[in-house]
Amino acid sequence: MDHKTIQDKLFLLADGELPENERQAIVSHLDDCGECAGLILQWRKVQETLGPASLPEPSEVFVFTVLDRLEPRRRPEPILNPRRLAAWLLPRLSLGLTALLISLMLIRPQVVIATESLLLARSPEGDSWEFSPESPDVGLLFGQPRDTP
Amino acid sequence: MTESSADDTLTIQRVHAGEKDAFATLVRKYEVRVRGYCMTTLRDAALGEDAAQEIFLKAYQGLKAFHGDSAFSSWLYRITVNHCRDVLRKASRRKSESWDAMLEREGETAEARLTGSADASERFEHAETLRRVLAELPESHREILLLRESQGLNYEELASILGCSLDAVKSRLKRARQEILSRSRHFLLQEDV
Ligand SMILES: [Zn+2]
């Protein structure tokens, strides 16, 4: 083998992929050829840097982090199915509507007057009081004229 | 990785049977190699860790579709290589450092630091420079060099992972090695002085 052929096979030598007779021929060539020997030397340096020694240390933290991410925490399943949504929503809506209607029927508008307002209000006829069988006129008590003549 | 592919098959069967903890066995077995590939390719420890996590999650999610047509390790490496390609492509859209600029900066410092005797810190810097050179290689060259030199895969495994013939593996590997040597020769030679 000449220098050129051997240079083409130098990497195969480094990989241990050469048959024994070729390996021996190349090894003996390296003794005489500085260029090929230099190339092998440089390649060994590259291998040292890129080789398995460049791999990181094993990490249990990494393993646990991966396992943690495999199973995300269970969350309540959102109701996205339209049928399930309707089955959940309709009874609640009708119940709420019924309750609203009943409350509207029961509550009537009333005039609310506080007892204190009545007792402390100033009587237009002076400070004397007399009993009357008639119901008191609220408007009169607050100083408004009677509607009736 | 092939020496224990039968073990992997058994472990995968356990995962398929619902034993999720069995997946931990696979993570433990391959995490160093996957993290190593990602860290060197992405040239960042944190990015590498994140990428490796994503790769194992993808593997777990895709395990149902894995029927053992190839070794699990080859399948995992394919996910790893493809994921790192994606990350790099996204990153290169944001920022790219040109080879010339790197060479200009590194050439001077590498020359200066390699003239003396190589102590530990110099060796570290030398390795860092070489990793930069590796990062600047064309994608196909960088991938095959890492898979061969760092991960120690044989030609058949490389062919299976990269989806090419044995002859293509040999010629691509040779070109990749010649290229990294030619790009780093200026400081590899100085180190010999
Ligand atoms: Zn020679």
Spell out which residues of chain B touch residue A42, defining contact as CB-CB under 8 Å: 181, 184-185, 188-189
pLDDT band, very low/low/confident/very high, at B191 (cuts 50, 70, 90):
low
**Cβ-nearest to A50 among B33, B35, B146:** B146
Average pLDDT over residues A101-118: 73
Task: Specify the pLDDT at position B60.
Answer: 95
Q: Would A106 be classed as within a structural domain?
A: no
Residues of A in contact with B188 (CB under 8 A): 42, 45-46
A16 belongs to a structural domain: yes
CB pairs < 8 Å spanning A and B:
91
> pLDDT at residue A102 above 60?
yes
Confidence of residue A145 (pLDDT cuts 50, 70, 90): low
Task: Quickly state the pLDDT bin for B116 (edges 50, 70, 90).
Answer: very low
Is the Cβ of B132 closer than 8 Å to some Cβ of chain A? no
Q: Within a domain: residue A14? A: yes
Domain coordinates in residue numbering, chain B? 1-95, 97-193
Residue A91 lies in a domain: no
Q: How does pLDDT run across B35-53, given as a tens digit for each residue?
A: 999 999 999 999 999 999 9
Q: Please give the Cα distance from B150 to B36 (Å, whole number).
A: 8
Q: Are B148 and B98 in contact (CB under 8 A)?
A: no
| Averaged pLDDT of chain B | 84
Q: How many domains does chain A have?
A: 1
How is residue A72 annotated by DSSP?
A: P
Residue A2: is its pLDDT beyond 60? yes
The rounded distance, in Å, linking the Cα atoms of B137 and B179 is: 8
Contact B166, B156 (CB under 8 A): yes
Phi, psi of B155 (to 5 degrees): -60, -40
pLDDT attached to residue B107: 52
Average pLDDT over residues A19-27: 92
Instruction: Give distance in angstroms: CA of B181 to centre of ligand 1.
Output: 16
Q: Do the chains contact at B27 and A66, CB–CB below 8 Å?
A: yes
**Is residue B143 within 8 Å of residue B81, measured between CB atoms?**
yes
| Pair of tokens at residue B141 | 């060259």
Mean pLDDT along residues B145-154: 95
B72: distance to nearest CA of chain A, Å? Answer: 18
Grade residue B144 by pLDDT with cuts at 50, 70 and 90. Answer: very high
The pLDDT of residue B174: 93
Is B22 in the A-facing interface, judged by CB distances under 8 Å? no
Tell me the C-alpha distance between B118 and B105, whole Å.
Answer: 20
Judge whether A72 lies within some domain: no
- Cα four-point dihedral sign B121, B183, A39, B115: negative
Question: Pick the residue with more confidence: B118 or A4?
Answer: A4
Amino acid code (one letter) for B41: T
pLDDT tens for each residue of B5-21:
889 999 999 998 988 88
Q: Enumerate the residues of chain B whose CB falls inside 8 A of the CB of residue A12.
A: 170
**Residue A149 in this model has a pLDDT that exceeds 50:** no
Percent of chain B with pLDDT over 70: 80
Cα–ligand 1 centroid distance for A3 (angstroms): 4
How far apart are the CA of A41 and the centre of ligand 1, in A? Answer: 13
Which range marks the domain in which residue A17 is found? 3-50
Instruction: Note the pLDDT of residue B117.
Output: 45
Q: Which of A5-9, A108-112, A118-122 has the highest mean pLDDT?
A: A5-9
Task: Please tell me the distance between residue A24's alpha carbon and the centre of ligand 1 in angstroms.
Answer: 14
Tokens representing A111?
């005039």
Q: What is the pTM of this model?
A: 0.68
| pLDDT mean over A67-84 | 65
Q: Is residue A142 part of a domain?
A: no
Q: Which residue has the tokens 């990497």?
A: A11
Quick check: B191 and A45 in contact, CB under 8 A?
A: yes
Q: Does residue A105 form part of some domain? A: no
* One-letter amino acid for residue A147 of the chain: D
The fold for domain B1-95 equals Rna Polymerase Sigma Factor; Chain: A (1.10.1740)
Share of residues in chain B with pLDDT > 90 (%): 62
* Range scoring the smallest mean pLDDT among A31-40, A119-128, B11-20, B30-39: A119-128
pLDDT tens track for B63-113: 988 988 889 999 999 999 999 999 999 887 766 555 455 555 555 444 444
CB pair distance less than 8 Å for A59 and B134: no
pLDDT for the residue B15: 92
Q: Looking at this protein, which amino acid is placed at residue B138?
A: P
Inter-chain contact B150–A47, Cβ cutoff 8 Å? Answer: no
Return the CATH number of the domain spanning residue range B97-193: 1.10.10.10
Which pLDDT does position B128 carry in this prediction? 84
What ipTM is given for this predicted complex?
0.81
Per-residue pLDDT band at B115 (split at 50, 70, 90): very low
The mean pLDDT value of chain A amounts to: 79
